[in-house]
């Protein structure tokens, strides 16, 4: 609780910086518009104005500063504009509407969660294999690391199109990207976690004559929980990013990624920014949810977070 005030201070500083940046970023556009509306602007012509920086122009036209905060097509929208757009598209719109961000959020969230569960399941299985089989440890682990250097995010659109051409559409292609991205953190975390028990604990089990599977269920798996949760939090955020990027250049009609692109292409910056912030809130909510589950689970198990 004692970090609430510091966090609020940092957030306030960021918002203040944003508010200050709105003026010079939008000044050129506002000045052009103001001139068309017959207001006094200095310098007089657009060409001369291009010579002046945004800050210089703002200082010479202080009477235009209020206008930069509610410009229709800003280069940098003001915070209250973004908040207004989000309120309008999240609270005011019907959920069934094609312009409701809740609807687009669900379109993005469904493949994210599906992919995350697939990726996590496979990741845990592979980690168990790596811990229990020397061959897999030696041959698969290096390639699991190399596989992460493949910029799959950069290929997401292609994967979607190729799968689409094979007749696989809808939820699954996006989930595949999400699964690929959440898979790796889980493998690395679980391998670390399953190897967390020290020699003393393993020896104790051996003195009890415990079988391999008993050792797994009663020692290795519980010991890996803090590591698993740390990986899950990274994985869910990565899954969401993967799904959003998969929606970007494929001509997707719905989802956060599609909204960002629509706003960009049709000159509606507010749509893009609202989608960006909604995606950020979704990521925060997902990570927060897993932190909560982590806290409850580990408390019940009497453990500390890794």
Partner 1 sequence: MMLVVIAIVVWAVGWWVNVRLANGPASDHTGVKVLIPLIFGLTIVIVWELLVRGFEVNPVILPAPSAIIERLFSEGPRLWADFQQTIIKGAMTGYVIGGLAAFGTAILADRSDFLTRGILPVGSFMAALPIVGIAPIFVKWLGSDWESKAAVVAVMVFFPILVNTVAGLRDTGPMQRDLMRTYGAGYWPTLLKLRLPAAMPFIFNGLKIATTLALIGAIVAEFFGSPTVGMGFRISTSFGQLALDMVWAEIVIAAIAGSAFYGLMTLIEKRVTFWHPSQR
In the complex, which residues of this chain contact partner 1 (CB under 8 A)? Answer: 2-3, 5-11, 14, 25, 75, 134-135, 137-143, 146, 148-151, 153-155, 157-158, 161-162, 165-166, 233-234, 237, 240-241, 244-245, 248-249, 256-257, 260-261, 264, 269, 272-273, 275-276, 279-280, 283-284, 287
CA separation, residue 25 to residues 13, 54, 82, 213 (Å): 18, 6, 16, 62
Q: Which of 64/234 has CB closer to partner 1?
A: 234
Which residue bears the tokens 């390639």?
Answer: 143
What's the closest the beta carbon of residue 251 comes to partner 1, in angstroms? 12
Which residue bears the tokens 């391999």?
Answer: 212
What's the closest the beta carbon of residue 203 comes to partner 1, in angstroms? 22
- Rounded Cα distance between 252 and 169, Å, is 11
Which residue bears the tokens 């609020």?
Answer: 8
What's the closest the beta carbon of residue 44 comes to partner 1, in angstroms? 26
What's the closest the beta carbon of residue 236 comes to partner 1, in angstroms? 9
Q: Which of 25/52 has CB closer to partner 1?
A: 25
Q: Which of 33/148 has CB closer to partner 1?
A: 148
Q: Which of 90/237 has CB closer to partner 1?
A: 237
Within 10 angstroms of residue 8's Cβ, the number of other Cβ atoms is 10
What's the closest the beta carbon of residue 245 comes to partner 1, in angstroms? 6
What's the closest the beta carbon of residue 261 comes to partner 1, in angstroms? 7
> Would you tell me the crossing angle of helices 79-87 and 4-36 to the nearest 10 degrees?
100
Q: Which of 147/297 has CB closer to partner 1?
A: 147
What's the closest the beta carbon of residue 161 comes to partner 1, in angstroms? 7
Q: Which of 3/45 has CB closer to partner 1?
A: 3
- Rounded Cα distance between 189 and 17, Å, is 37
The DSSP secondary-structure symbol of 97 reads S
**Contact call for residues 258 and 247 (beta carbons, < 8 A):** yes
43 preceded by a cis bond (ω within 30 of 0):
yes
Burial pattern 131-157, b for ≥16 Cβ within 10 A else e, equals beeeebeeebbeebeeebeeebbeebb
Q: What is the largest CA-CA distance in the chain?
A: 91
Q: Which of 219/272 has CB closer to partner 1?
A: 272
């Amino acid at each position: 609780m004692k970090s609430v005030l510091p966090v609020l201070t940092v957030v306030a500083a960021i918002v203040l910086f944003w508010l200050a940046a709105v003026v010079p970023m939008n000044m050129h556009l506002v000045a052009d518009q103001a001139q068309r509306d017959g207001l006094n602007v200095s310098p007089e012509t657009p060409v001369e104005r291009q010579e002046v920086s945004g800050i210089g122009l703002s200082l010479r036209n202080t009477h235009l500063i209020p206008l930069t905060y509610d410009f229709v097509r800003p280069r940098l929208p003001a915070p209250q504009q973004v908040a207004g757009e989000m309120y309008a598209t999240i609270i005011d719109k019907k959920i069934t509407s094609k312009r409701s961000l809740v609807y687009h959020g669900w379109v993005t969230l469904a493949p994210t969660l599906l992919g995350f569960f697939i990726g996590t399941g496979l990741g845990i299985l592979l980690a168990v294999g790596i811990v229990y089989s020397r061959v897999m440890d030696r041959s698969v682990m290096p390639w699991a690391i190399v596989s992460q250097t493949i910029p799959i995010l950069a290929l997401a659109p292609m994967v979607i199109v190729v799968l689409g051409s094979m007749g696989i559409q809808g939820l699954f292609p996006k989930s595949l990207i999400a699964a690929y991205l959440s898979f790796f953190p889980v493998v690395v975390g679980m391998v670390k976690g399953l190897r967390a028990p020290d020699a003393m604990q393993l020896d104790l089990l051996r003195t009890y004559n415990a079988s391999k599977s008993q050792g797994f269920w009663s020692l290795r798996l519980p010991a890996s929980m803090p590591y698993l949760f740390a990986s899950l939090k990274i994985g869910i955020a990565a899954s969401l990013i993967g799904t959003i990027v998969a929606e970007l250049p494929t001509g997707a009609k719905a989802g956060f990624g599609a909204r960002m692109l629509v706003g960009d292409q049709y000159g509606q910056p507010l749509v893009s920014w609202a989608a960006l912030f909604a995606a950020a809130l979704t990521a925060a909510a997902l990570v927060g949810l897993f932190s909560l589950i982590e806290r409850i689970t580990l408390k019940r198990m009497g453990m500390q977070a890794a």
